[in-house]
Amino acid sequence: MLAHPRILIAEDESGIADTLQYVLRTDGFVPVWCPTAEEAIAQFTAEPPALAILDVGLPDMNGFELFKRLQKLPAGAEVPMLFLTARSDEIDRVVGLELGADDYIAKPFSPRELVARVRSILRRSGRTGQGTVTATAATPAASTPHLMPFALDVDRMQIRYYGRLLELSRYEYGLLRLMVQRPGRVFTRDELLSLVWDEASDSFDRTVDAHVKTLRAKLKAVAPEVEPIRTLRGTGYALNEELPPSV
């Protein structure tokens, strides 16, 4: 971890901002509070933070718009961003990952949980004191943490696994992309259907299972000993967070 990573907070509610600043400071971070999106953009431009926490409901711009604006800044693609949201429909948008955001925290949140999440994102993004992230893909923000065996190239709709380019069908790619972007996050079959398939009504739970099965076979062909996709019986699937960095 860098000595005192700067964490930008775009949040208009001072009570929440105070709590965030307090817990982050206690944990050795340097919080920078911006009550508006405009201010966040100015701060981010002046000195890019190690990570940015974006409230979805800001007075002058919503958090998604702010995210897009920040991403276009020179350092924007390298800074992990975390959404703060109180509404489940907003969570759906974050989870849809059209934006490629790193994560979200639902309000009300536990301050300890938030700090733990910030730490794990910084660790995953490689900001551990050995310099900044090595960008291997064309779109670093949307690429996977480099410790994982997966390398995602959203522009080309390609995924490499232990260096090997996977030949995936459209739905296999969609499933794996979602999981790779959120290691450890459990996706229910319903979520996968609605996020990956165009017309969920035409599909069934076993459609997801069938595609996961063919996907697993392709992964197994690359690394027979590794099982990157976990099945949660009766629930859905998640990408294993603990995977060997090489095979």
Quickly list H helices, 10-137. 14-26, 37-46, 63-72, 88-96, 111-124
| 16 vs 212, beta carbon nearer Ca ion | 16
* Long-range Cβ pairs for the range 63-71 (8 Å, 24+): 63/10, 63/37, 64/93, 64/99, 65/37, 66/10, 66/37, 66/40, 66/41, 67/99, 67/101, 68/99, 69/37, 69/41, 70/40, 70/41, 70/44, 71/100, 71/141
Binding site for Ca ion (CB under 5 A): 12, 55, 57
CA-based R_g, the chain, Å: 18
- The least distance separating Ca ion from the CB of residue 54, rounded to whole angstroms, comes to 10
| 91 vs 229, beta carbon nearer Ca ion | 91
- The least distance separating Ca ion from the CB of residue 24, rounded to whole angstroms, comes to 18
| 16 vs 178, beta carbon nearer Ca ion | 16
| 101 vs 175, beta carbon nearer Ca ion | 101
| 57 vs 100, beta carbon nearer Ca ion | 57
Residue whose beta carbon is closest to Ca ion: 57
- The least distance separating Ca ion from the CB of residue 241, rounded to whole angstroms, comes to 30
Q: What residues does 231 pair with on adjacent strands?
A: 237
